[in-house]
C-alpha cells in the first residue's frame, strides 16, 4: 500500500504533466566562517606578504524536497546541521587557524616547517580566493551524498576573502 507522501507525489506529478508546470529543484545554502593566513608569492602588491583573513564560505546544494513521511528530514533538501557537520569535518576544521601555503612558495614552507606543531595546509596552487573556492568545491563535491534519492548535489561554493571580495566555484553544467 502506498504511503500518503507517495500518493501526494503521484498527484503532484500528474498535475505537473497535465498543467505543463515544472517543479523546480530546490537550492539551499549554508554559510560558515573560519580564520586563516596566506600569501600570494608572485603578487605585485600587499598580498605577497603573509597576512590573514576572516573567510566565509557558502555551500549551495540542490535537490528535491524529501517527502518521505516520518523521516527527520521530511520537507528539507538536507538538514542544515548535516550540511554544517560535513563542511566542518571535510574543510573548515582543516583550514581554520591554519596557514594556507602554496607548495611552490619554498621560503614560507621552510619557515612554517621550522615552527613546531604549526598548522599548515599545503596547496598545489597559490591560495587566491579563486583557487581556494575551486579546491573547496573539489573537496566538498564528494562529501555530499544523495541518501534519500532526492538528487542532492553540490552546485556552488562561494568563498569570501573579505566582505567585498569573493570567488564562486560553480558546477560547469550550471554556467
Residues classed as catalytic: 47, 97, 161
Q: How far apart are CA 153 and CA 76, in angstroms?
A: 14
Q: What is the 3-state secondary structure (H, E, C) of the chain?
A: CCCHHHHHHHHHHHHHHHHCCCCCCEEEEEEEEEEEEECCCCCCCHHHCCEEEEEEEEEEEEECCCCCCCCCCCCCCCCHHHHHHHHHHHHHHHHCCEEEEECCCHHHHHHHHCCCCCCEEEECCCCCHHHHHHHHHHHHHCCCCCCCCCCCEEEEEEEEEECCEEEEEECHHHC
Amino acid at each position: 500500500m502506498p504511503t500518503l507522501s507517495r500518493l501526494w507525489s503521484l498527484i503532484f506529478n500528474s498535475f505537473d504533466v497535465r498543467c505543463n508546470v515544472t517543479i523546480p529543484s530546490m537550492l539551499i545554502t549554508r554559510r560558515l566562517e573560519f580564520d586563516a593566513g596566506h600569501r600570494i608569492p608572485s603578487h605585485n602588491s600587499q598580498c605577497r606578504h603573509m597576512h590573514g583573513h576572516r573567510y566565509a564560505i557558502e555551500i549551495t546544494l540542490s535537490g528535491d524536497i524529501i517527502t518521505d513521511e516520518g523521516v527527520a528530514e521530511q520537507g528539507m533538501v538536507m538538514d542544515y546541521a548535516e550540511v554544517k557537520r560535513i563542511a566542518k569535518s571535510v574543510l573548515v576544521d582543516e583550514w581554520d587557524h591554519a596557514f594556507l601555503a602554496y607548495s611552490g612558495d619554498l621560503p614560507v614552507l621552510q619557515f612554517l616547517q621550522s615552527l613546531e606543531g604549526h598548522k599548515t595546509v599545503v596547496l598545489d596552487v597559490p591560495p587566491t580566493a579563486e583557487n581556494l573556492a575551486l579546491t573547496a568545491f573539489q573537496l566538498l563535491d564528494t562529501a555530499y551524498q544523495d541518501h534519500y534519492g532526492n538528487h542532492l548535489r553540490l552546485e556552488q561554493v562561494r568563498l569570501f576573502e573579505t566582505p567585498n571580495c569573493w570567488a564562486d566555484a560553480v558546477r560547469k553544467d550550471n554556467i
